[in-house]
Amino acid sequence: MKNTIKLLLSIVLFTFTMQSMAQGELTIIDQESKKPVPYANICFESLGHHSQSYGISSLEGKAINKAAERCVIAISFTGYKTLYDTIVPGQSKQYELEADLLNLNQVVVTATRSNKQLKNVPVITQVLLEEEIKSRGITEVGALLEAEIPGLEIHNHAWGSDIKMQGLDANYVLFLIDGERMAGETEGNVDYSRINMNDVERVEIVKGASSALYGSQAMGGVINIITKKPRDKVEFSMGGKYTQMNQVNFENLKTNEDFYFYKSKLDLPNTNLNATLGFNLNRFMSKTNFNRNTSDAYHLISTDSLYKEYEGLDLSDVELTEGKAPGTEDFSISQVFEYKLTNKWRLRANGGYYQQNRYDFIRDNSYDFFEEYNFGLKANYQISDINNLELSFNRDTYNKNKISEINDVITPEYSHYFYNPKAIYNQAIKEKHHLTLGAEYYAESLETLRFGNEDHLRRKNSNTLIAFAQDDFIVNSNFSIMGGFRMDHHSVYGTHVTPKLSAMYKWVPLTFRANYAMGFRSPTLKELYFDFTPAGLFVLKGNENLVPETNQYISLSTEYTRDKFNMSANFYKSWFENRIGGYWSINENSKQQYNYTNINQAELFGIEVLFRYRINRSFFMSGGYSYLNDSDEVDSKNVSAIAPHSGNFRFEYTLTKKIYQLKVNLSGKITGAKEYYELDDIEINGQIGVAAYFVRYEPFSIWNFSISQSFHNGILLVVGIDNILDYKAPIVSYNSNLSPGRIGFVSLNLNVDHLYREFSSLLSKKK
C-alpha cells in the first residue's frame, strides 16, 4: 500500500514538473542593475490565431510562458522600453529591459490616427500616463490639464467650465474618449466631470489644427482620453478620495428650517468613490466601471475692489466682485464588452450612463439635473498582417433639466444628441507607406427652450458627410513626411476641404518638425439660432447668416533628446478667416444684447517650451513655458482674458524597495499678469449702453504637494495638499482663479485581484 501511495505521489510530482517545464519560465531583469523587474506586463499574441493573453511578473521578476503556439510577446513597464520577441510553447528565457526614463517609446494614436511611437510622431504630442495621475491623487481632468499644459486655462462661468488652449476656447478643442466624440452643452463646452479619471490609462494632447483628421471643432487641438483594458482573467479594484470642505455655508442645520433642502445640498462632503470589475478570458473581455462624486458649494468675495474707469466717458465705478461655485452630486456607470469572433474579427460594444445634480446659491426652489447616455459598437477586421478595416457607430445624448425642490417635477431645458458611424481602413505598403482612408457621417440635433420661445422646446438639426485620407511616408530612418486631407459636406454649408502636411527630420540628438494644416469649423446650432436671455440679464442672439470659419495653421519645432534629458521648443501661428465672434448692442427692449457675427480676420501666435529631465532613477523634473499673443479685439480694444505668459513645473522623487514604492510630488502652475478690456452695460442719459473698462490681474501661482505610497502593487495611499500657499484671487471674476484656498486630501485605492495573487503566492512559498 505504501509503495502504491509513493508511486502515485511520484506520478503527481512528475506530472506537475512536466507541466511547469512545458509552460516554461520567463525571467525579467533590469539591463543595468541585473535586478528583477516586478509587476512587468506581458502580452502574448499567437501568430496563427492572433489570440491574446496576459501575464505579470512576480516580485522575483518571474512569469509563466503562457504561449500555446508560436507567439509574439510584448513586455512593458513604466520607465522601460517595450521589448518584443518571438517564443514557442515551453520555452524558458531571460529578458533584460532597457530603461526609457522619458517614456519616448510610448505608443500613441491621436496625432496620426494610427499606432506610432511618441518619438516618431510628426506633431509635438504630450502624453500623461496613469501612474503620473494616480500617484498625485488627481480625480478631475481639468486639474490635470491645468497642471501639465502651459498656456492652458480653465475658466469657470455660470454655465460651467470653459477650456482655453493656445488662446482658443472649447469650440475649438475636441475632447475624445477612446477616439469618440462627446455630446456637449449648448455653450460649446463639454461636461468635464463626466470623465472618470480612475479609468484612464493615458491622456494624449495634440495641439494645433487637426481638422484634416477630426473635422470641425479640432481647429485648436485634440485631447483624447484612453481608458484601461483588463489584462488578467479577473480584475477588481476599488477606491475613494476625501477632500476637505471648501466652505461651510450653514452650520448646525435643522430639518425644520426654511429652505432645508437648498441649504443641505450646499454643504455636501467632497468625496470620490470608484470601483471597477474586469474580465479577460482570451477571446472575451468585459469591464464595468462605477463612479460616485459629491462636492460642496462655496462663495468667494473679493478682498480688493474693482475700479472701473470707462473708456471715453467721464464715468467710473467701484465694485466688490464675487464668484460662486455650485455643489454637485455625480453618478456614472459604464460597461464595455469585447469578443474575438474569429482570428480576423474583433467586436466591441460599450454603453454608459451619467447624471449630475448641480446645486447653486439661487433660492428659486429648483436645481439643475444633467443626464448623459452613450452607446457604441465597433468591429475590427484584420484582413492581413499589413491591412485592417475598422467599422464603428457611436451615439451620445446629453440633457439638462430643472427639478423642483418642492414636488420633484422635472422640466426639460435642452437636449443635445448626435450619432456618428464611420469606417477607417489602414494599409501598409512596402514598409514605406502607411495609408489611412476613412469615411464617416455625423448628425446632431439640439432641442432647447433657447431658440426664441421659452414656453416649449424647439429642435434644430444638422449633418455632415465626411471622407479623409492620409499617407505616412517613411523616406528613410531619419526623414518622414505625412500628408492628408479631409472633405466635409455640411447640410447647410456645402463642401469644405482641409489639407494637412507634416515633415520630421532626425539629426541625432535633434528632431525637427514642420506642420501646416487648414482648420475648419461650421457654426454651432447655438451660434445660428439662439435667442435667449440668461437670468433676464442680457440677450444672446444667434445669426442664421453666419458662414464657416477657417484658419491656416503652421508650427515649427525642435526637439533635443540626450540620455536622460528631453527638451522641445515649438513656434505656432494661426490666421483666421470669418472667425465667429460677436459684438454688444442695445436691442429694442433697451436690453444689452450679444450678437454672433463673423469677424473678417484674426490671428494669434505663440511659443511653447517643454522639458523633461530624469536626473536618475529617483529624481525627475519636468516643466514648460508658454507665450501667447492673441489679437482678439473689439473696437480696437484687446478683450482676450488669457495671460500672455504662463508656465508649469513638477518635481518628483521615487523610492522603490521590493513591495514598497514611495513617490513625492511637488507641482506648480504659474500664471502671468493679464491686461485687457472688459465690457459692461451702463446707463447713460436714461439709456442702457455698452462701455469698456481696463482691468489688470496680477501674476500668481498655485502649488500642489502629494505623497503616495504603494504596497504589493495593490494598495495605493495618497496624501496631499492642493494650493499649499493658500492663494486666493484678490479680485474674483469668471476670468480669475476661483480656488477657495488651501485644501488637503487623502485617497486610497485597492487592486484587490493583485493583492489576492500576491498573498496567495507568499502563502504558498511559506508552505
Per-residue pLDDT of 594-636, as tens digits, reads: 788 887 677 889 999 999 998 888 899 999 999 998 876 666 7
| Confidence band, pLDDT 50/70/90 cuts, at residue 670 | very high
Q: What share of the chain is helix, strand, coil (3-state, %, to 5)?
A: 10, 60, 30
Q: What is the mean pLDDT of residues 266-287?
A: 93
pLDDT in tens, 130-152: 888 999 999 888 888 888 888 88
DSSP 570-601: EEEEEEEEEEEEEEEEE-TTS-EEEEEEEEEE
Looking at the predicted structure, is the pLDDT value of residue 591 above 80?
Answer: no
Higher model confidence: residue 162 or residue 160?
A: 162
| Confidence band, pLDDT 50/70/90 cuts, at residue 370 | very high
Question: Distance (Å, rounded) from C-alpha 96 to C-alpha 113?
Answer: 31
State residue 292's pLDDT score. Answer: 95
Give the three-class secondary structure for 209.
coil
| Confidence band, pLDDT 50/70/90 cuts, at residue 477 | confident
Percent of the chain at pLDDT exceeding 90: 34
Q: What is the mean pLDDT of residues 287-316?
A: 89
Residue type for position 344: K
Residue type for position 581: G
C-beta atoms surrounding 581 within 10 Å: 19
Q: Please provide the size of the chain in residues.
A: 767
Question: Distance (Å, rounded) from C-alpha 9 to C-alpha 2?
Answer: 11
Q: Strands 306-309 and 270-281: what pairing? A: unpaired
Give the three-class secondary structure for 318.
strand
The owner of cell 512528475 is 14
Give the three-class secondary structure for 144.
helix
State residue 108's pLDDT score. Answer: 65
Question: Distance (Å, rounded) from C-alpha 445 to C-alpha 460?
Answer: 6
The values of phi and psi at residue 493, to 5°, are: -105, 5
Nearest to 100 by CA among 124, 129, 134: 129
| Confidence band, pLDDT 50/70/90 cuts, at residue 14 | very low
C-beta atoms surrounding 343 within 10 Å: 12
Give the three-class secondary structure for 13.
helix
Looking at the predicted structure, is the pLDDT value of residue 294 above 80?
Answer: yes
DSSP 407: T
DSSP run (H or E) holding 131:
helix 130-134
The owner of cell 500657499 is 725
C-beta atoms surrounding 444 within 10 Å: 20
Which of 13-17, 291-295, 395-399, 578-582 bottoms out in mean pLDDT, i.e. has the lowest? 13-17
Give the three-class secondary structure for 554.
strand
The pTM for the full model equals 0.87
Cβ within 8 Å of residue 206, ≥6 positions away = 110, 111, 123, 125, 221, 222, 223, 224
State residue 331's pLDDT score. Answer: 94
Q: Is the Cβ–Cβ distance between 76 and 36 less than 8 Å?
A: no
Q: Is the Cβ–Cβ distance between 481 and 475 less than 8 Å?
A: yes
pLDDT in tens, 381-415: 989 888 899 999 999 999 999 999 888 898 898 88
Cβ within 8 Å of residue 742, ≥6 positions away = 721, 722, 723, 724, 725, 726
Looking at the predicted structure, is the pLDDT value of residue 53 above 50?
Answer: yes
pLDDT mean across residues, the chain: 85
Which of 164-168, 178-182, 278-282, 502-506 bottoms out in mean pLDDT, i.e. has the lowest? 164-168
Nearest to 276 by CA among 242, 241, 239, 331: 239
How are strands ordered across the β-sheet holding 125-129?
125-129, 200-207, 221-227, 173-177, 180-181
Looking at the predicted structure, is the pLDDT value of residue 119 above 80?
Answer: no
Question: Distance (Å, rounded) from C-alpha 648 to C-alpha 668?
Answer: 6
Question: Distance (Å, rounded) from C-alpha 37 to C-alpha 643?
Answer: 45
| Confidence band, pLDDT 50/70/90 cuts, at residue 17 | very low
Question: Distance (Å, rounded) from C-alpha 750 to C-alpha 238?
Answer: 5
Q: What is the mean pLDDT of residues 639-663?
A: 89
Nearest to 317 by CA among 736, 684, 737: 684
Q: Is the Cβ–Cβ distance between 117 and 100 less than 8 Å?
A: no
Q: Please, what are the domains in the chain?
A: 2-100 (2.60.40.1120), 107-229+239-403+411-759 (2.40.170.20)
Peptide bond into 548 cis (omega under 30): no
State residue 19's pLDDT score. Answer: 43
State residue 743's pLDDT score. Answer: 95
State residue 50's pLDDT score. Answer: 67
Query: Vertex 645, ends 643 and 647: CA angle to 5°?
Result: 110
Separation of first and last alpha carbons in the chain = 27
Question: Distance (Å, rounded) from C-alpha 513 to C-alpha 555?
Answer: 8
Looking at the predicted structure, is the pLDDT value of residue 12 above 60?
Answer: no
State residue 256's pLDDT score. Answer: 82
The values of phi and psi at residue 756, to 5°, are: -60, -45
